């Protein structure tokens, strides 16, 4: 459905043609795909194989039959076609054009677009899903509202993340501290997914929304991944990726449950949310400028936890295979600065 909505977003030629049909108070039934499975349910009409243009789509919509487009909507394959999908396929629609559109979308894996002549509404069908396209102003309003919510949640995430950094430096992290950061990060990510859906619908009108979303989401995904690698009981990257997928699959109600999120990391759950944890150091090392991910993996594997890394001297770091003198000094200086800033932030 996301791909189908992108094809009819403002700024795309197909959307321009659909808007022309709406402005003329006409109706249309359009199938975006001309593969064998589509042709099997086509009857009559005539072959065009003409280059697509909004003007041609509008003119062809004056006829009663359906219009068949190429999968990328670059060409008009057929016009005035009678579609004959399986009449036994379930449909919730009442109008003839929309019943046909829903049945075709269920029968073949292509987007089907119905333009209602009476209601002046464009409806996109794909599989068992349908979406009525809202006016750009309404979608933009919802997108801006979602961005405001995202900004508030991002501010809260930054606060708990800063707190976690200070606690890690002082070796005072508990299960609740780590899980709270993961909860906030996942909430922010889910709001961002909603905004991305609006951006798809907005097409070229969503450029500014896209820029704001990128700014607000900077570093969130990496931070979430590093927190999981710091605290998941099995430090293997595969276990961390599995925990990320499990976190994303939680319902909203389960996400708000500290025990459910702690269980994903195999951490003490239930009433033991104050159990002490020791980070491996992935997240703070990732904040050190110019430090490669391979070096981070090497150092965390060698020292095991953040406290040992912080106590290590430059000579200790240099003794690790793959870590040269320059990298060792970068790590030592970077951790020192992070330690100082984290402590200052915690008391500010």
- For 73-91, the pLDDT digits (tens) are 999 999 999 999 999 998 9
- At residue 68, the 3 state secondary structure works out as strand
Shared domain for 208 and 240, answered yes or no, is yes
- Provide the domain count of the chain: 3
Q: Three-state SS for 146?
A: helix
Q: Are residues 113 and 142 in the same domain?
A: no
User: Same domain, yes or no, for 83 and 142?
Assistant: no
Q: Ramachandran region of residue 49, left (φ > 0), alpha (ψ -120 to 50) or beta? A: left
Q: Determine the pLDDT at residue 271.
A: 52
pLDDT band, very low/low/confident/very high, at 123 (cuts 50, 70, 90): very high
Residue 268 pLDDT: 56
Are 40 and 14 in a shared domain?
Answer: yes
Whether residue 29 is predicted with pLDDT greater than 70 in this model: the reply is yes
Domain co-membership, 44 together with 151: no
Angle between helices 136-169 and 175-202 (to 10 degrees): 160
Both 63 and 165 in a single domain?
A: no
Last residue of a domain, one of 133, 154, 180: 133
Q: Residue 208 is part of which domain span?
A: 136-279
Q: Tell me, what DSSP letter sits at residue 91?
A: -
Q: Which long-range contacts (CB under 8 A, 24 or more apart) does 135-141 make?
A: 136/10, 136/202, 136/205, 139/198, 139/201, 139/202, 140/198, 140/202, 140/205, 140/206, 140/209
Mean pLDDT of the chain: 91
CATH of the domain at 35: 3.40.1700.10
């Amino acid at each position: 459905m996301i791909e189908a909505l992108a094809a009819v977003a403002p700024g795309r030629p197909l959307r321009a043609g659909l808007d022309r049909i709406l402005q003329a108070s006409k109706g249309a039934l359009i199938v975006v795909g001309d593969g064998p499975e589509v042709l099997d349910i086509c009857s009559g009409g005539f072959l065009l194989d003409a280059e697509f243009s909004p003007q041609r789509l509008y003119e062809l919509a004056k006829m009663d039959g359906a219009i068949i487009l190429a999968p990328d909507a670059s060409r008009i394959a057929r016009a005035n076609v009678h579609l004959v999908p399986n009449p036994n396929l379930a449909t919730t629609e009442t109008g003839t054009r929309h019943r046909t559109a829903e049945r075709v979308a269920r029968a073949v894996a292509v987007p089907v677009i119905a333009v209602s002549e009476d209601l002046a509404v464009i409806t996109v069908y794909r599989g068992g899903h349908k979406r009525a396209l809202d006016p750009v102003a309404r979608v933009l309003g919802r997108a801006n509202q979602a961005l405001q919510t995202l900004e508030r949640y991002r501010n809260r995430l930054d606060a708990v993340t800063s707190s976690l950094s200070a606690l890690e430096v002082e070796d005072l992290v508990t299960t609740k501290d780590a899980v709270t950061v993961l909860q906030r990060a996942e909430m922010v990510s889910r709001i961002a997914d909603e905004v991305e859906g609006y951006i798809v619908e907005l097409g070229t009108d969503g450029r500014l929304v896209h820029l704001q979303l990128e700014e607000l989401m900077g570093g969130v995904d990496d931070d979430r991944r590093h927190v999981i690698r710091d605290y998941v009981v099995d430090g293997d990257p595969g276990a961390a990726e599995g925990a990320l997928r499990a976190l994303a699959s939680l319902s909203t109600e389960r996400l708000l449950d500290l025990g459910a999120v702690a269980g994903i990391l195999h951490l003490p759950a239930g009433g033991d949310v104050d159990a002490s944890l020791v980070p491996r150091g992935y997240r703070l090392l990732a904040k050190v400028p110019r430090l490669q991910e391979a070096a981070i993996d090497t150092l965390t594997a060698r020292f095991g936890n953040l406290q040992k890394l912080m106590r290590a001297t430059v000579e200790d770091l240099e003794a690790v295979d793959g870590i040269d003198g320059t990298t060792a000094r970068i790590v030592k200086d970077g951790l020192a600065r992070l330690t100082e800033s984290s402590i200052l932030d915690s008391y500010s």
